[in-house]
Amino acid sequence: MQKVARVTPCAWAVARKGLCRNFSASSAAMAAKGPQDNVQRLYVEKIQEYSKLSASGKITMDAQSEKDFKAESEKLNKMYGGGDLTKFPQFQFKEIDFTAKQDV
């Protein structure tokens, strides 16, 4: 009986670790399939529909939204020095010359 009592905690720890790994693997596999819930599926479909309409130019702003957008754009341009706010900024990094000697 004492041997069984000593083996049981070890067996339980091994079984628990195996169950956790299996659960993790199955949840990753389920996530790879795509949204399972009806709400999730509908949400993804609406995002895809919006991206298609947006790319084709069929989605436009009303007059008030356009006015607000221009006002906010002007405010941001004034604060941050201009630039096109509708595009992602392009970063350019200069290569550092580590071989050049500097006068100290």
CB contact at 8 A, 36 and 30: yes
Place of tokens 């041997």: 3
The amino acid present at 8, given as its one-letter code, is T
Place of tokens 């007059």: 63
DSSP track, 30-70? HHHH---SHHHHHHHHHHHHHHHHHHHT-----HHHHHHHH
Residue 18, pLDDT > 70, answer no
For 32-84, the pLDDT digits (tens) are 666 678 999 999 999 999 989 888 888 888 899 999 999 999 999 899 887 88
For 73-93, the pLDDT digits (tens) are 999 989 988 788 778 888 889
Residue 100, pLDDT > 70, answer yes
- The torsion of the CA quartet 24, 29, 34, 39, rounded to 10 degrees, works out to -40
pTM of the model: 0.36
